[in-house]
Amino acid sequence: MFKTLMVAMAGLGLSAAVSAQEVVEGQHYELLDSPVETHVEDGQIEVTEVFWFGCPHCYRLQTPVNKWYETLEDDVSVVKMPATMGGDWNTHATAFYAAESLGIEEELHADFFNAIHQEDQSLTEPDDIAAFFANYGVSEEEAKKALTDFSVRSEVNEAHNRMREMKLMGVPALVIDGRYVVSPSSAGSLENMPKIADSLIEQVRAERAE
């Protein structure tokens, strides 16, 4: 099912930016029946970027979404969440949280994507992942220990539970305030995802101000 979805998304053309007044539920985004608990401080608006390192669409989203992150105001917090659908997905999610536990995730995030999509590395074997981590000041032994750490496994399980609560069947996705889900198909293109998400952030601000 997901492979079919990815093929469909690959054919999406660019659509015009959508203004805040035109953002419509069911057309530009989906509203979750039950909000998902957010992981940010009180008063902050959470933007959760759900991705898989092996997904070409997630890779292509990095440029527009990272430019957008630079424009966000101080009341917005970004949470990156790896998708978990078994197999290589879970392996990459484990790598993400292991890198986070070692304090190197932010530094290697873009490089991990590039290694897979530009250098044809799969990075699905513990030895390969540990060797990759060693480029960021940790030993391969430390990396392998982190990859099997109980706390890392717990993070992967929590991500899996959150993904189910968000009712996500594919990636990439941007989830605003634990309620609004923006996908490439709902936004009309990968490039439009940040624009729709930005409008939803304004909507959340307006709701909180009432």
Q: What percent of the chain has pLDDT over 70?
A: 90
pLDDT, tens digit, 9 for 90 and up, residues 137-153 = 999 999 999 999 999 99
Give the angle subtended at the CA of 108 by the CAs of 102 and 111, to the nearest 5°.
155
Find the helix or strand (DSSP H, E) in which 165 lies: helix 150-165
Higher pLDDT, 14 or 39: 39
CATH (domain of 159): 3.40.30.10
Cis, peptide link before residue 56, omega less than 30° from 0: no
Supply the pLDDT for residue 21: 52
Question: Between 4 and 183, whose confidence is greater?
Answer: 183
pLDDT of residue 35 exceeding 50, the answer is yes
Q: Which helix (H) or strand (E) holds 80?
A: strand 76-82
d(CA 48, CA 76): 11
For the segment 66-83, the average pLDDT, to the nearest whole number, is 98
Query: Is the pTM value of this prediction over 0.95?
Result: no
Percent above pLDDT 90 for the chain: 89
Q: Do 74 and 105 share a domain, yes or no?
A: no
Do 193 and 155 lie in a common domain? no
Domain tally, the chain? 2
- pLDDT band at 22, cuts 50/70/90? confident
Regarding whether 163 and 105 lie in a shared domain, the answer is yes
Residues 6 or more apart in contact with residue 172 via CB below 8 angstroms: 49, 50, 51, 55, 57, 58, 61, 183, 184, 190, 193
Q: Determine, yes or no, domain membership for 6.
A: no
Structure tokens at 180: 């609004």
Cα separation of 20 and 196, whole Å?
8
CA pair distance 85, 186, nearest whole angstrom:
21
Residue 21 lies inside a defined structural domain of this protein: no
- Host domain of residue 177: 43-83+171-209
Q: What is the mean pLDDT of residues 34-44?
A: 95
In contact, 195 and 187? CB cutoff 8 Å: yes
